[in-house]
Amino acid sequence: MRYDRRPRRPYRGPPALATVCEWQTGTHHTMTGKPERSDYIVSGPPHKSDITAGCGSLGTFVRQKLLQHGSDIALIDGVYGTEATYMELLEQGARLAECLRQQAGIRCGDVVGLVSENRLEFPVVLIGSFLLGATVAPINLTYTEREFVHAFNLSKPRVVFFSGFAADRVVAAAGQCRFIERLVLFGDENPFEGGPTLLEQFLAPVSFVNPLTLAIQPTNVHEHVALIMCSSGTTGLPKGVQLTQANVMASAALTDESTSLTELEGPLVLLCVLPWFHAFGCLSLLNVLCIKQRMVALPKFEDFLYLGCIETYGCNTLLTVPPIVLFLAKHPLVDSYDLSSVHTVICGAAPLARETEELLRRRLPQVRHVRQGYGMSELTLATLFQDGDGHKPGSVGRVQIGTQVKVIDPATGRALGPHERGELCFRGTQVMRGYVGDAAATSHTIDPDGWLHSGDVGYYDADGEFYVVDRLKELIKYKGYQVPPAEIEAVLLTHPAVQDAAVIGVPDEAAGELPLAFVVRQLGEAGAAVTAAEIVQFVQERASAAKRLHGGVQFIDAIPKNLSGKVLRRELREQARVARAKL
């Protein structure tokens, strides 16, 4: 396994000297010798206890948690209704671990690839690999053959588990990667000769392994890589994000404490359509297994099936991204289902506009919490989150356990105070180890003092609540003004004839860039009748001069987004370029 072994000062968590809004005073000096105002660093509380729970590896940690929960139902397949208890998942994981050891020679530190939609075999591969101390590389099953080759070359898996959805592309890509020694296919049919092995055939030599007696090798949890997640790749080819075993344990500890603040009469039942190969989905799955929640899982979003699962299983918590919240807020089909069980909506992966949250609350008045969080693959999961009561609409919450945050001026690196906009930087127990095989990208993202530079623009207020404005690279430069696309998009989504919208900047010789809106019309007469001029006027009446649609409006059937809900602005820029070239 070829990891970036460049020595870096290990970060042992923030000092236990301030909770949110307990501002420090004075200055201190960084490792680089530059003075930095410590009162402009916002610290979350320290972890209440050892995040490892006394375990010497993530495998031991996961085994301990699954044993504690035993016969309780952990996962429900929302398509087929199949259920799996915590103990069943542990026993299946132990069996798979032994087969990996016997059949493929997998040892502690080897990499196992995983290409699959959300299905019950997915967590079994995770658990089995962790029991061995192997690293898992979940990979986006919608990748092309070229993208699979790139992803495999990042993580160098010896064995790849995959589903039929991506079978042809995985097999073709694996043929170009000599380090892949074994392919294991989920399902009952194998159309390939002499290549992949069906999962049941792979498991056949071992009928049962007692997880209590399975030997688990201790590791250095702060250095040993548990997951290699592919970055979203919205600005180029994905990078391999290395998350350590301690990162995963810290995420479970944080989620456990946040969940304890949620008041529910019965058990927590989450509905998850987030892809498990994405960091948000994968860590949410692992946290469910570690802190005794129940998850109803779907492989993809289908409106009838999604709403039907809420009604059938009484889901009280929804793990969502902004497009799903927008669907719940505006789609007419929602009124045909009983969603009275929904208590909490958790939204991440991309900013949720305040206006969209207000529309959802009007549509589903029984929802008590609409919680936003902020995280990125490089931060394991959410490091900012709206827990408890009393958060402000539009914020992404406060600093979570084990994390420090500062906002800096991108040009000078100077730490900024409340209400000053700049780049969000993070330090703490959830910061990744680095990008696999890419020391240059790692050092560009994590500075010598351990601060991870997110590339996101935001600010915090006097109460310590944070707000994400936009991406540094996505800000539109109009006549010297920095215009956040998300702000204009939020205005557009309040228009009754607009179902969805995205804004980009198009080049202009005089102004630099002009804000251009791509708009998806709402279904029905209102959507069909609305004109571009009306939408331009609508924004003009609600936004300052720089934030108006000087580049106009283009109607589109759907906004291109990746599976985590982030707008693929590259595709929109290309569409705009082609359209302008034809003029």
The string of pLDDT tens digits covering residues 29-79 is 343 445 556 679 999 888 877 899 899 999 999 999 999 988 999 999 999
Residue 352 in domain? no
Residue 539 in domain? yes
Q: Which helix (H) or strand (E) holds 297?
A: strand 294-297
Say if residue 503's pLDDT is above 90: yes
CATH code of the domain covering residue 194: 3.40.50.12780
pLDDT of residue 232: 66
If one compares 6 and 364, the residue with the highest pLDDT of the two is 364
Say if residue 25's pLDDT is above 50: no
Residues 6 or more apart whose CB falls under 8 angstroms from that of 310 comprise 271, 318, 337, 338, 339, 341, 342
- Please name the residue that has the structure tokens 């998009």: 489
Q: Which residues pair with 542 in a beta bridge?
A: none
Q: Which residues pair with 476 in a beta bridge?
A: 483
Residue 28 in domain? no
Length of the chain: 583
CATH code of the domain covering residue 543: 3.30.300.30
Q: Read off the pTM.
A: 0.80
Residue 46 structure tokens: 């320290």
Residue 482 near residue 512, CB atoms below 8 Å = no
- Please name the residue that has the structure tokens 């602005």: 569
Q: How far apart are CA 363 and CA 386, in angstroms?
A: 21
Q: How far apart are CA 165 and CA 289, in angstroms?
A: 25
Say if residue 92's pLDDT is above 60: yes
The string of pLDDT tens digits covering residues 43-55 is 988 887 789 989 9
**Single residue among 284, 313, 346 that ends a domain in this structure:** 284
Say if residue 368's pLDDT is above 80: yes
Helix (H, G, I), strand (E, B), or coil: what is residue 477?
A: strand
Residue 306 near residue 336, CB atoms below 8 Å = no
Mean pLDDT, all residues of the chain:
86
Residue 148 in domain? yes
In the chain the first and final C-alpha atoms are separated, in Å, by 52
Residue 9 in domain? no
Q: Which residues pair with 29 in a beta bridge?
A: 35
Residue 198 in domain? yes
If one compares 117 and 491, the residue with the highest pLDDT of the two is 117
Residue 426 structure tokens: 């993070």
Q: How far apart are CA 246 and CA 388, in angstroms?
A: 25
Tell me which amino acid residue 46 is: P
Residue 513 structure tokens: 């860039």
**Single residue among 237, 268, 284 that ends a domain in this structure:** 284
DSSP string, 167-192: HHHHHHHHTT-TT--EEEE-SS----
The string of pLDDT tens digits covering residues 108-127 is 999 999 999 999 999 999 99
Report the 10 Å Cβ neighbour count for 536: 17
Can you give the residue range of the structural domain that contains 153?
55-246+276-284
Residue 39 structure tokens: 């009162």
Q: Which residues pair with 27 in a beta bridge?
A: 37
Residue 429 in domain? no
- Which 8-state DSSP code applies to residue 519? E
The string of pLDDT tens digits covering residues 546-555 is 889 999 999 9
- State which of 84-93, 273-282, 381-390 shows the largest mean pLDDT: 84-93
Q: Which of 227, 277, 169, 204 is nearest to 3 (CA)?
A: 227
Residues 6 or more apart whose CB falls under 8 angstroms from that of 482 comprise 475, 476
**Single residue among 284, 304, 338 that ends a domain in this structure:** 284
Q: Which pLDDT band, with edges at 50, 70 and 90, does 233 fall under?
A: low
Q: Which pLDDT band, with edges at 50, 70 and 90, does 262 fall under?
A: low
Residue 295 in domain? no
CA angle 160, 161, 165 (to 5 degrees): 115
Number of domains in the chain: 2
Residue 109 near residue 135, CB atoms below 8 Å = yes
Q: Which helix (H) or strand (E) holds 193?
A: none
pLDDT of residue 8: 31
Q: How many separate helices (H) and strands (E) can be counted in the chain?
A: 16, 29
Q: How far apart are CA 68 and CA 268, in angstroms?
A: 17
